[in-house]
Structure 1
């Protein structure tokens, strides 16, 4: 199984590094059966983040139909400013919508063996590209109303499981997403081993469309 974390110009470093470290630790606990990769949409090489020009290197190009997990991080940068001079987060996410990302993620959704996961603004990018209409998801609290406007049902939970789409909220939720993906794919003992190693306890309930509906409280 391959876990592919997408890099793009302006990505948020913690959205990438948090699940990368969690999934790599999970792979070690599994004996290396999970191949964790940093990937780009069209070329290998260094990619500049949205935080102080920090660079990470994409060592592979995204394979959208590969069995496993494709993770879309959010963006980093200012939230407001003149878009003609400042690459704000909304500008970066809009650029993603006009890139190859929507077509590639569409292929991932069409693959029966591929799970798409998003962190923070990554969910909003897919929503604005029209890929989450009719789906259930969450993004950063600043953008949940915008995500709802794309036809997505927003559940304000730390992690939301909607079948072949798993989304997480704000930046640090990448840790929770990584641990949940380990539990979902490989079981709770693997996830618990990584929790102990990282001395981190997951926050919040993972929402999914299972069990009884709650009465109004």
Structure 2
């Protein structure tokens, strides 16, 4: 195994050894109560927020920006997208430092970034997917991306992460003192290095930040976000539209259920596929 072919389990080691050089200024918000899977609260209106820039910066209605970066995990981005792209009044766009194909953590798939982050000054919803060790750590250390995330987050209606996307958001100090979740192998790092309060759940809502657990949990988060934006009936319809009714053939979808041997094998398989 080469040094480049590392997985999420190495995020803690690599980030610590490499000195994640990102400012950790806290946002000064008081810790919020966690709202985990199944939380329901009054819905928000779907009227468009005031645009921060010119009309060319965003289409009519609400805008959701999905951040892409080299080494992101495909389902982390595509899961929420598949739900939210059909939400009435919401446009979902992909953004990155450059436009064009952005490769995933395996290097075998590329998603097209439609806009440069330099051209997107406002988003009503910001979604940050997770990635493998290479992509996550690089984005935690990317000053331009971190500055953009902090700037856009100041005016979002919702900021959401999937999997190790919480580490990217937390690298800018935006999760300090807040309840949050992340990929199972990154729980300790989230608390110890980024100051979040790890809270188990498929997703955790803290104020206007929603963090989702690993990979597939982004679909759950997307449905919850759809309900918060447009009501439960719309979210239920979207769930049926994508026929999201999981009945996995194996009961090993959490580390507690899987046990140490399966945990180890899972990380080895992720290692083997990473570039």
- C-alpha deviation, 1:43, in angstroms: 2.0
Report what 1:43 is aligned to: 98
2:90 to 34, 39, 50: 34
- C-alpha deviation, 1:125, in angstroms: 2.1
Which protein has the larger Cα radius of gyration, Structure 1 or Structure 2?
A: 2
- C-alpha deviation, 1:201, in angstroms: 4.2
C-alpha RMSD over aligned residues: 1.8
Report whether the alignment pairs 1:2 with 2:2. no
Write the distance in 1 (CA, Å) between the matches of 2:232 and 2:167: 29
Report what 1:55 is aligned to: 110
Which structure 2 residue ranges, 5 or more long, are not aligned? 1-61, 248-275
Q: How many residue pairs end up in the alignment? A: 183
Normalised to the residue count of structure 1, the TM-score between the two structures is 0.78
- SS, match of residue 25 in structure 1: coil
Q: Output one character per residue of 1:123-172: Cα deviation in whole Å (capped at 9) or x when no partner.
A: 02222343311222110111111101121111111110111211000110
Report what 1:114 is aligned to: 157
Write the distance in 1 (CA, Å) between the matches of 2:126 and 2:240: 25
- By relative contact order (CA 8 Å, sep 6+), the higher-ranking structure is 2
Task: Report 1:178-197 matches (<5 A).
Answer: 178-197=222-241
Task: Report 1:159-178 matches (<5 A).
Answer: 159-178=203-222
Distance 1:108 1:133, change over 3 A: same
Do the aligned partners of 2:180 and 2:211 also contact (CA within 8 Å) in 1? yes
Report whether the alignment pairs 1:20 with 2:75. no
Do the aligned partners of 2:75 and 2:215 also contact (CA within 8 Å) in 1? yes
1:71 to 117, 127, 147: 127
Task: Report 1:197-208 matches (<5 A).
Answer: 197-201=241-245
- C-alpha deviation, 1:68, in angstroms: 1.3
